[in-house]
Amino acid sequence: MPRFRRHRRQPGDATSADEHLVALAQQGDREAFGALYDRYLGRVYVYCYRLLGDREAAEDANAAVFMRALGALSTYRVGSFRSWLFAIAHNVVTDELRRRRPTEPLSVAMTMVDAGPSPDEVVSVRADHAEVMAILPQLSDDQRQVIALRLSGLSAVEIGEALGKPRNAIDGIHHRALLRLRSLVATGDAATTKGRG
């Protein structure tokens, strides 16, 4: 990934500053894209890591996000750069998860054994950040995406833009995800329950 020099911060809120930097970057100002890169590199990495669960995979995905963003910058239209960037991140992560998914014939499912821990082996779950991260995989794909984007600092509107869903759908998914997380934490079923909700 090429390194970019920092660009002077523009006055105003982050959205207008982003739009100003995007406009400069679209005109060929590499420093402007570098400033956007610096601003969002950590947030995009954390989002990728939350969903992929592996440092190396998250680094690769992070690099792919910014390479795609740089390549598609000419197609960006004024709106929310952050939503646009996280939509790219969502697509990169989805592609990686799809690539990882094993492809076995349906007949193999009949002979599979649940390798998860038995109910006797489950320990009570405390509601701190590390515990929430550990139970994220237990949520449905939509719920996991919304929670990961929310933890990355996106608003419900931005999450809707990133995932291509209306705001009310995002609110509903977020609400169900929070109820599911509370249920898993309260019952101590976090280690035994798989992605229902």
Q: Looking at residue 77, what is its pLDDT?
A: 84
- The architecture CATH gives domain 1-102: Orthogonal Bundle (1.10)
Q: Looking at residue 178, what is its pLDDT?
A: 86
d(CA 178, CA 193): 15
Mean pLDDT of 86-102: 89
Domain borders along the chain are 1-102, 122-197
- State pTM to two decimals: 0.57
**What single DSSP character describes residue 5?**
-
Q: Looking at residue 7, what is its pLDDT?
A: 45
Mean pLDDT of 5-17: 56
- Both tokens of residue 100? 């990882």
Terminal CA-CA length for the chain = 38
CATH number of 122-197: 1.10.10.10
Q: Looking at residue 111, what is its pLDDT?
A: 58
pLDDT tens digits, one per residue of 22-73:
999 999 899 999 999 999 999 999 999 999 988 999 999 999 999 999 999 9
Q: What is the DSSP string of 89-124?
A: HHHHHHHHHHHHS----HHHHTT----SPPGGG---
